[in-house]
Amino acid sequence: MAHVGAQTVLPDVVASGLQNPWAVAFLPEGRYLVTERPGRMRVIEANGKVGAPLAGVPTVAAGGQGGLLDLLLDADFARNHTLFFCFSEPGQTGNSTALARARLSDDRTRLEEVKVIFSQKPKVASSLHFGCRVVESRHGGKADGMLFLTLGERFVRKDDAQKLDNHLGKIVRIHKDGRVPADNPFVGRAGALPEIWSYGHRNIQGATLAPDSTLWTHEHGPQGGDEINLIQPGSNYGWPVITYGENYGGGPIGDGITAKEGMKQPLHYWVPSIAPSGMAFLTSERYGHAWAGNLFVGSLKFGYLDRIELSEPFKGTVVREHKLLADLGERIRDVRQGPDGLLYVLTDNARGQLIRLAPR
């Protein structure tokens, strides 16, 4: 439990019995849509009843960190029932992160018109570092028809994060039908893939837009050095050349440096690593004025929700961190603000839960 002014915040279990849930989205009429990493997508009713797996979900490369991962409802979902989801896509030479578009059927039992609109290249024989967070971009406060997708460097191919001829360790930006936007930073550059928006990333499992449309992400470092980054088009975020972490078991990565000209510094980093997953800004005042504009990040390693105070609402530097839900002892996989202005989290285990953070 955590205190907010004179209020107390308590975990209210909305649904349970979810197998390694990864992402939650908010459907109309108080329902929820949740992905489970083994390859299932389910509707949860407003009363917490968990529905049967939806038909039409493609085969995923489930195993390790791979499976059915992030989920995003289109900004116009209420009208078009369109959603996007990313997953580890199997292939002959390995697997990779893919992004698909689909329509949720009117009776909410299946996915229709499923189409993969992006597939990371190359495929790699690895069960690690898929990234796989999806964010709908905005311009002037309105959705602009484009998506950001975060892509891990697959662990065994970390040096490729510095190369622009592949999608490993990148953020890409595409239209909702998979086309490349003409104003992407590497369009027309020889030897560079035009989808790339930024590079030099390790494994981004948290991404969200601030109200000013700035893209905020966090990514896993190795042993130490998890980062929060503000993403700018065409920028290099340094992995594996610069890092505040070290090799597992100790010892420097590369030259053991933390800064280099032409490479972006993180806004904030954690040593030791908290293994972050999920990321959301709180725009409501349901928990009082002090929480509005704070950033929230789940910790898998230590099992808490990190409330991050910034020097200004939605911007600035990290001033303070507060551990919420630590007494649950649960890996926090996803965090979102619901339409009711409250925070919701998913816990990552074989009988995972959807939890609402309720002010009392």
- Report the DSSP pairing between strands 68-73 and 40-44: unpaired
Contact 337, 280 (CB under 8 A): yes
User: Taking the C-alpha atoms of 151, 18, 113 and 337 in order, what is their torsion angle to the nearest 10 degrees?
Assistant: -70
Tell me which amino acid residue 148 is: F
* Set 3, 81, 129, 289: catalytic member: 129
How far is the CA of 287 from the CAs of 52, 103, 206, in angstroms? Answer: 34, 34, 22
Tell me which amino acid residue 275 is: A
Cα separation, 324 vs 161, in Å, equals 33
Cα separation, 254 vs 252, in Å, equals 6
129 is catalytic: yes
Cα separation, 334 vs 299, in Å, equals 9
- The residue among 270, 344, 274 whose CA lies nearest residue 304 is 274
Residues forming the active site: 129
